[in-house]
Amino acid sequence: MYTRTAPDPINAVVEEIRDHRRYLTSGRSFLSKNRTEDQVIGKFQGIAGATITADLQIVFSERKKKGTWEQENVVKFAAIVRCAGHGCSTPEHKVPATAEFLLDADAETAPTALPVITAAQKWAQEHAEKCRALPYDGS
């Protein structure tokens, strides 16, 4: 039987950063320099069946270079966990964002997302173990 394995989130982050840098150097203007890319990093099932999803948020932005008028491109990482349980008392949990990193060094920057990923997955796992909210069935 063929089993699908979830992709390594860090590889996915590296890809996203490369895509964004490619976009920045391409001169295309239909995408914003300030955008957030969401990446699913975990899906859990609560003990009553509700789905709990953990998303890593890759936040690209532009800021002014210290002491100059130049702009520089940065990235930071945050995460959000959402529980779809009907009446769940904590349907949303946010993992605070990391510091901003210059977009110049993708391979080195990506692993800084790890603590955020781990914190979100851990919270989602723990929530799944105790959340008794049922999936919403329309009634």
Q: Which residues bind Zn ion (CB under 5 A)?
A: 83, 85, 88, 131, 133
- CB closer to Zn ion, 53 vs 61: 53
- Distance of closest approach, residue 131 Cβ to Zn ion, in angstroms: 3
What amino acid occupies position 5? T
- Distance of closest approach, residue 91 Cβ to Zn ion, in angstroms: 6
- Distance of closest approach, residue 21 Cβ to Zn ion, in angstroms: 37
Give CA–CA dist 62/52, Å, rounded.
32
In three state form, how does the secondary structure of 23-82 look?
Answer: HHHHCCCCCCCCEEEEEEEEEEECCCCCEEEEEEEEEEEEEECCCCCCEEEEEEEEEEEE
Hey, what are 1's tokens?
Answer: 């039987």
- CB closer to Zn ion, 9 vs 85: 85
- Distance of closest approach, residue 52 Cβ to Zn ion, in angstroms: 6
Hey, what are 51's tokens?
Answer: 């789905």
- CB closer to Zn ion, 66 vs 130: 130
- CB closer to Zn ion, 75 vs 88: 88
